[in-house]
C-alpha cells in the first residue's frame, strides 16, 4: 500500500481556492471592472480619447524613453552582472546590495533626488548644463529616472545565468586556440542572449508604468516631458474618468503584450539552456 505523501499546507482544493480568490480580488476583478467600464464606450469615442494629440505625445515619450532606458540597462546591467559574478574585489557585496536599492527606495524620493542632482545648480547639473546636457525637466531626465528603476531587473535576471555558466567550456576553448573575442562570441554570448532579452523586456515593462520617480525630474510639460501615467492622473483630477480609462486601457494592453513576450522569452531561454 502506497504511503500518502505528507504536505505541510492543506490539500490542493483549499489552497487552489484561496489562490484563485486572492488573485481575483487583487488582480482580476479590478482589471475586469476597467474592461467593463471601457465597453461602455463606443469604438469611436474610445479612439478619440486614446489618440488625442496630447495622448500621442505622452505615448511617444513613455515608450521611447522606456525603450532607451531598457537598452541602456541591458548593456550596462550585463557588464555589472558580469563583474559581480566573475570577480572578487573589496566592496563587492556592498555593490551587489546597492543593485536592489531602486526596489527599496520610494520612487518619489528617487525622483526628487535625481531632480536635485541634475538641476542647473545640482551637484552634477552645474557641470553638465554648461556643456549643453540638461538632465532635469527634459526628456533626458525621464530616461535617467527610468534607467534607475529598471537596472535591478537586468542584473538579477543575468546573475543566475552567469553563475551557472561552466568555466571549463571557456577554458577548453582557450586551450584549443580560441581568443577571448571568439570565446565570447561563440560560447558566452549565445548563452547570455536569452537572459539579456528577458531582462530588457522586464525593464521595459517596468518603465512603461513608472510614475513616482518621473514627476519631479520631468517637469510634466504637456507635449514635451509629460508621460502617459501622469496624463492619466491629470484626467482624473479633471474628473474626465472616461479619458483616464481610455489611456489606462492602452497601457494595460501594452502591459499584457509585454507580459506574454516575457513568458515566451523565458520559455525559449529554458529550452535553449536545456538543449545546450
C-alpha cell at 240: 474626465
pLDDT in tens, 6-58: 566 666 777 788 888 888 888 888 888 888 888 888 889 999 999 999 999 99
Q: Would you list the domain boundaries of the chain?
A: 43-275
Q: Which pLDDT does position 1 carry in this prediction?
A: 47
The CATH code belonging to domain 43-275 is 1.10.3720.10
CA-angle at 169, arms to 163 and 174, nearest 5°: 120
Q: How many other CB atoms are there within 10 angstroms of residue 84's CB atom?
A: 20
Residue-wise pLDDT tens digits, 140-186? 999 999 999 999 999 999 999 888 877 766 667 667 666 677 777 77
Q: How much is the pTM?
A: 0.85
Helix (H, G, I), strand (E, B) or coil at 204: helix
| 150 contact partners, CB below 8 Å, separation of at least 6 | 69, 70, 73, 102, 202, 203, 204, 206, 207
91 dihedral zone (left: phi>0; alpha: psi -120 to 50; beta): left
What ranges in 106-219 are assigned the alpha helix state H? 107-118, 125-128, 139-164, 167-175, 180-183, 189-208, 215-218
Q: With pLDDT > 90 as the criterion, what percentage of the chain qualifies?
A: 43
pLDDT at site 28: 84
Distances (CA, A) of 220 to 9, 54, 246: 49, 12, 20
- In tens, the pLDDT along 63-100 reads 999 999 999 999 999 999 999 998 898 999 999 999 99
Amino acid at each position: 500500500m502506497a504511503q500518502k505523501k505528507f504536505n505541510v499546507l492543506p490539500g490542493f482544493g483549499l489552497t487552489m481556492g484561496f489562490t484563485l480568490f486572492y488573485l481575483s480580488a487583487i488582480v482580476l476583478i479590478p482589471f475586469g471592472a476597467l474592461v467593463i467600464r471601457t465597453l461602455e464606450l463606443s469604438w469611436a469615442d474610445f479612439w478619440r480619447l486614446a489618440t488625442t494629440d496630447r495622448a500621442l505625445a505622452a505615448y511617444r515619450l513613455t515608450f521611447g524613453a522606456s525603450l532607451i532606458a531598457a537598452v541602456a540597462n541591458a548593456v550596462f546591467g550585463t557588464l555589472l552582472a558580469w563583474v559581480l559574478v566573475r570577480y572578487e574585489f573589496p566592496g563587492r557585496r556592498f555593490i551587489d546590495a546597492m543593485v536592489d536599492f531602486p526596489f527599496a527606495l520610494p520612487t518619489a524620493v528617487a525622483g526628487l533626488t535625481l531632480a536635485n542632482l541634475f538641476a542647473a545648480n545640482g551637484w552634477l547639473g552645474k557641470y553638465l548644463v554648461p556643456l549643453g546636457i540638461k538632465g532635469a525637466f527634459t526628456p533626458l531626465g525621464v530616461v535617467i529616472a527610468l534607467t534607475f528603476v529598471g537596472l535591478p531587473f537586468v542584473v538579477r535576471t543575468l546573475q543566475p545565468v552567469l553563475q551557472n555558466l561552466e568555466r571549463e567550456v571557456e577554458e577548453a576553448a582557450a586551450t584549443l586556440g580560441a581568443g577571448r573575442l571568439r570565446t565570447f562570441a561563440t560560447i558566452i554570448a549565445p548563452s547570455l542572449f536569452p537572459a539579456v532579452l528577458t531582462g530588457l523586456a522586464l525593464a521595459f515593462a517596468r518603465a512603461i508604468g513608472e510614475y513616482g520617480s518621473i514627476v519631479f525630474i520631468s517637469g510634466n510639460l504637456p507635449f514635451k516631458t509629460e508621460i502617459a501615467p501622469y496624463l492619466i492622473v491629470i484626467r482624473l483630477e479633471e474628473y474626465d474618468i472616461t479619458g483616464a480609462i481610455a489611456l489606462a486601457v492602452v497601457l494595460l494592453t501594452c502591459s499584457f503584450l509585454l507580459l506574454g513576450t516575457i513568458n515566451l522569452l523565458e520559455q525559449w531561454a529554458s529550452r535553449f539552456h536545456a538543449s545546450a
